[in-house]
Amino acid sequence: MVSENDSKASGPVGPDLLGRLVEQHAAALELYARQLCDSPQDVVQEALIRLAGLSRRPDDLLGWLYCVVRNGARSAARAARRRKRHESEAAVRRPAWFLPSAAEAIDAKTAAAVLESLPEECREVVVARIWGGLTFEQIGRMLGASDSAAHRRYESALSLLREKLRTPCAEND
């Protein structure tokens, strides 16, 4: 058990004390972090690594750990919100793949199912070009083919998609 003496001793935190801290407090620290972020285990691990790297242990060892976990969890939550916002903004900036028609809108699930039904080599080129933003030269290198062969596969895949969806696709050259 982590004792008062462990908290009041000076010097770095040794492996024995670190092990006892993990055994006795890691679950509670994770529970505390879980209310603040989606990666509580990572936050607790980072706090323990930080503790192990200190040249002198904090006066209030457990209080220090909770403070570091709290700050780490808040930082992780902010980073997750930023990442989600950037991903959403990037998705909005991408050009529309399908041209909407007033008579018939394309359902996302249907579009995904039709894309999955394409042969792998066609699907691979479409995903690399539209969502990956790769050039035909890059796609050709990836496939071990020429850029014109990559372009032909892309055009073929779009034709298959148009046929299966009976909806025009946006030009994305």
Residue 102 lies in a domain: no
Single-letter residue type at 70: R
Asked if residue 73 and residue 42 are part of one domain, the reply reads yes
Quick one: pLDDT at residue 88?
A: 85
- The residue written with tokens 């403070």 in the block is 67
Domain-embedded: residue 47? yes
pLDDT digits (tens, 9 = 90+) for 117-133: 888 888 888 888 888 88
pLDDT digits (tens, 9 = 90+) for 19-61: 999 999 999 999 999 999 999 999 999 999 999 999 998 989 9
CB 106 within 8 Å of CB 114: no
Domain range for 116 is 108-165
Q: Is pTM, for the whole model, over 0.85?
A: no
How far is 62 from 65, CA to CA, in rounded Å? Answer: 5
